[in-house]
Structure 1
């Protein structure tokens, strides 16, 4: 019930903001309720399924914040274009900047969790991984909503580095939580310029025809390129979809033929390099 009330509040916030937007703003083309009953996983970089998006639709997601001095600028850029996004917050960062974390929700963006301290879960025992995730739930909820209960306020989680485990996936599913990967990423953890990041992400969008986009509100290069990125999305005909918690089970679109988990390939490559 708490999650349904939260979803209704997000829908109202999106509608009221969109109604105030002029025709030149990018805006939100539609709000997508994502069912979480029984859990599930989405995002083609890791999983063989994703959200039911149409060609040209993009979902904007930001990881690792909130980051004082940076997340504010991201929120300002989104507000200028009347766009809503999803922020997967690290617990310790939310606890260190509660007013900023609360602002994200107050402005109608969806909140997700990204663990307490951002460990790579495949290197942890199950109990340690579960505790880190639960601590993240509590820290984010306390910062954003002022109170943390047994049930997380939001049903959305993203693994650090997308490095999930079958055991943790099953545990999250038992709590009716959806695990988010991404369909494409901006690679903004690399030492690239804002211009290079902008060029790269549009090359990837052209190939994927849209999808769930991974960005980081802690990265200065992303903060710098975001206003131009949003204007270019509008100019190039892309449409932003904002997802919120919804009733019922998760509805997905299956991966195309030839799909493979790029996440697993990267993780295995790193392990092989370390072994060498």
Structure 2
């Protein structure tokens, strides 16, 4: 049994832990086996991601300093809040990450700010949100950003009332929903909700060859009442650490408002963005691909012609 690099302690209370409360996974979930690649019905494939080296209209843009490819065999962990082994960032390098999308208005605003600075990020969407707004998630892919997963419903997988089978369903259905929304499998990159890492699930992700993302610093944007609070908090922390994986949320309105100025501040401070990409996409499990598609089915709609349904009887 192969365990993810940098296995952390059970139930750790992380300084990077997010605080939004979300619904728990449904009961009666089935345990998942390591999958073979399985096709699933899905929307039309998203356009190919843009190159990080594409021409940039902003001559003073933050840009992307380098792109790194991640081999997720064995489930490596990233982010010093939980994982200490893979310190690949150089001084003044940052990785931008966004959780909880896609979401109307806020995610497109985040994408616009990133595009204006010609830079890239990793997005960890919630499966349900991906199923609600697949077109927004496709915009993320079209812009050339890396996309992973953040569970199906943002359930805390460290909840003692949750069975192992339910936790696995949260992981697998989340990836299947993102695959359905994009029309192609995302990166095998995963972030636990609230950064609660139950050891059994860390082991499972290692067996599934899925990389685990913690963070080096949290914006705590879900607590912020103003955009300026987010800017000041991130810059203070990154200046103290000198580099790091930054956790933000494209679900949050104030984050979208803060991002243009935050990116300018990072540029002015001499920081450079590193984009992380996966060596190969995740292999989803057919059972959960089918479960997501089943959830998308709508009740049968009558095909009767208008004049047989609605008739003017008085005017």
Larger Rg: 2
Unaligned runs of 5+ in 2: 1-36, 38-47, 281-315
Q: Do residues 92 (structure 1) and 128 (structure 2) align? A: yes
RMSD: 1.6
Specify the SS of the correspondent of 2:260: helix
Count residues in correspondence. Answer: 232
Give 1:1-276 correspondences, 5 Å limit. Answer: 13-15=51-53, 17=54, 19-123=55-159, 124-145=162-183, 152-246=185-279
d(CA) in 2 for partners of 1:153, 1:226: 24
More strand by share: 1
d(CA) in 1 for partners of 2:253, 2:95: 21
| 8 Å contact from structure 2 (residues 187, 277) kept in 1 | no
| 8 Å contact from structure 2 (residues 156, 193) kept in 1 | yes
d(CA) in 2 for partners of 1:219, 1:212: 18
- Measured against aligned partners, the alpha-carbon deviations of 1:215-261 in whole angstroms (never above 9, x if no partner) come to 000111111110000111111110000010137xxxxxxxxxxxxxx
- Measured against aligned partners, the alpha-carbon deviations of 1:180-223 in whole angstroms (never above 9, x if no partner) come to 00000101111432111111111100111011000000111111
More helix by share: 1
d(CA) in 2 for partners of 1:182, 1:240: 15
| 8 Å contact from structure 1 (residues 50, 183) kept in 2 | no
Specify the SS of the correspondent of 1:105: helix
- Measured against aligned partners, the alpha-carbon deviations of 1:158-185 in whole angstroms (never above 9, x if no partner) come to 0001111111111111111110000001
- Measured against aligned partners, the alpha-carbon deviations of 1:105-161 in whole angstroms (never above 9, x if no partner) come to 11100001000000110112211100111111111110012x5xxxx5321000001
Unaligned runs of 5+ in 1: 3-8, 248-276
